[in-house]
Amino acid sequence: MYRYDEFDAEFVHSRVAQFRDQVVRRLDGRLSEAEFRPLRLMNGLYLQLHAYMLRVAVPYGTLRSDQLRMLAHLADKYDKGYGHVTTRQNMQFNWPVLSDVPEMLTDLASVDMHAIQTSGNCIRNVTCDPYAGAAADEIEDPRPMAELIRQWSMLHPEFAFLPRKFKIAVTASSQDRAMIKGHDIGIQVLRNEAGEVGYHIIVGGGLGRTPVIGQTLRAFLPKDDLLPYLEATMRVYNRFGRRDNKYKARIKILVRETGIEDFTRLVEDEFAALDPSDIAVGAAERARIATYFASPTFETGIKPLDMESQPEAFRKWVDTNVVAHAAPGYAIVNISLKDPERAPGDVTTEQMRAVADLADAHSFGELRFTHQQNMVLAHVRQDALRAVWDGLVAADLEDANINLIGDIICCPGMDFCALATARSIPVAQAIAERFDDHDRQQAIGEMQIKISGCINACGHHHVGHIGILGLEKAGVEFYQVTLGGDATQTAAIGDKMGAGFSQEELVDGIERIVDFYVGAREHDERFLDTYRRLGTEAFKEVLYASA
């Protein structure tokens, strides 16, 4: 894991001191709200529907156990005893008090954490495959590259006031677990025909009110060229991105209006005009950063557990939540934050500390937040899986529903968000409750339901196998459905079905769709495969059939 050097630490501490002074000046009136608002947003502090909200950055979703304990400490001391894992792999606190925030940031800085660039029209937290460094199918660990981008983008003077916010995601696997085609820039580490490792650069993806699947900007970029090429791309966006209309200001609109060929030419021209030596990072520096992400020393000769002698609930959990690791004898453990009674992504301080303890005991003191609002212990010995499960059971974190219908992505919706038009949490809970039976979930198979409480799409509904968008008209919430969305390497925007439903009608309609799929699928077809084979109309008819 990356550890701050003295420059990082000095910068973050000085930023906290600045913000402390800014809060004092706001409270005594020397700063007006108009003056203070951009300053608090630059430090991740929003004023939401009912209270302030602090969004803490978790770069590429990776954190140490002591950092998770610090998040638990913040939630206990300054908030209401829980945190919320976001779809950008960050953590939000829903109830901080303005005068406490400088202390919260001070505490965060003590463990190399901050809330910088979690808001505003800048390059936001880089998100990453949550299995990075552990996945059997990756070319190399993508986090050193993500860290390089973090260092480059942090307070970059040219890119602090972009036309709009800018999101980058990275992966090093052909199986996309970071939704790289749904980002302003997506980067995939890959090999070219000569066997060299470089980057596939995708541009112009995004969700929100205008969902777009990203397109290839460069099929193969040599490693040395990464930062100059990103700089060239950002310059083109900064120069030509629309600033006259907030809703047309994302790079996806620029790429669409310019056309990918012309946009690529603009980037390549800018890239050719740059002096790479200004910002290019060579192999030696990349290797230095990579040492922070060196694989732990994996032991050998680990015997797999005798599953036959284990309880059924444990075996089901292993089947659902545990995936293969690159190292023999190890496993990747997904910890579901999708208890049907809770908001998706919410985790209590007791649970955070339990996971931190498990990370220390069984996963080299490190863990991940996922964009699907779960957690991951990336390096667990297979013979320790039972001990991990026992710990999760004790912490009420043993839900066995990863990638199943109960594993719902959900934004905070109107329960917390100032932008929302409808609630999303109660919808997620109602669906999770309807499909609570594990065996039924398992029988349905891979299913991603994603719910957003407004068209800004923080719940990624456009790329849900079943997407749900909450809206409101004349004081009544209703929910529109999209089907066939896909967040992976076969990315697709879901098809809009039509008129919306009440919450109760919605859950019934989803159940009809799911039952129809189960009856219609051939062999091991996933929901997505059956949907693609049978087409929209077949599912639409079922969705709108009266119960």
CB atoms within 10 A of CB 245: 9
CB of 508 within 8 A of CB of 547? yes
Longest dimension (CA), the chain: 69
Among 325, 342, 512, 521, binds another protein (CB under 8 A): 342
Of residues 398-417, those binding another protein (CB under 8 A): 414-416
Query: Residue 338 and residue 335: Cα distance in Å, rounded?
Result: 9
Does position 82 bind another protein by CB under 8 A? yes
Among 44, 477, 491, 528, binds another protein (CB under 8 A): 477
Does position 502 bind another protein by CB under 8 A? no
Among 5, 6, 28, 308, binds another protein (CB under 8 A): 28
Region of 47-55, 175-183, 226-234, 459-467 interacting with another protein (CB under 8 A) = 47-55
Among 3, 6, 29, 261, binds another protein (CB under 8 A): 29
Does position 261 bind another protein by CB under 8 A? no
Strand ranges across the sheet with 82-85: 45-47, 52-56, 91-93, 82-85, 346-348
**Which residue, chain included where needed, has tokens 């299995």?**
131
Does position 429 bind another protein by CB under 8 A? yes
Quick one: angle between helices 226-240 and 260-273, nearest 10? Answer: 120
Does position 94 bind another protein by CB under 8 A? yes
Among 13, 20, 80, 540, binds another protein (CB under 8 A): 80
Does position 336 bind another protein by CB under 8 A? no
Query: Residue 316 and residue 383: Cα distance in Å, rounded?
Result: 16
Query: Residue 144 and residue 148: Cα distance in Å, rounded?
Result: 6
Query: Residue 493 and residue 167: Cα distance in Å, rounded?
Result: 18
Give the residue with the Cβ less far from another protein, 49 or 534.
Answer: 49
Of 325, 302, 311, whose CA–CA distance to 393 is shortest? 311
In whole angstroms, the minimum distance from the beta carbon of 399 to another protein comes to 15
Report how many residues bind another protein under the rule CB under 8 A: 37
Does position 38 bind another protein by CB under 8 A? no
β-pairing, 375-381 vs 366-369, is antiparallel
Does position 276 bind another protein by CB under 8 A? no
Does position 78 bind another protein by CB under 8 A? no
CB atoms within 10 A of CB 342: 19
Quick one: angle between helices 312-321 and 385-394, nearest 10? Answer: 100
Does position 49 bind another protein by CB under 8 A? yes
**Torsion sign (Cα): 42, 44, 45, 51:** positive
Does position 27 bind another protein by CB under 8 A? yes
Among 322, 343, 378, 528, binds another protein (CB under 8 A): 343
Does position 440 bind another protein by CB under 8 A? no
Region of 204-212, 364-372, 422-430, 503-511 interacting with another protein (CB under 8 A) = 422-430
Positions in the binding site for another protein (CB under 8 A): 26-29, 33, 47-52, 80-82, 94-99, 341-343, 346, 348, 414-416, 421, 423, 425-426, 429, 472, 475-477
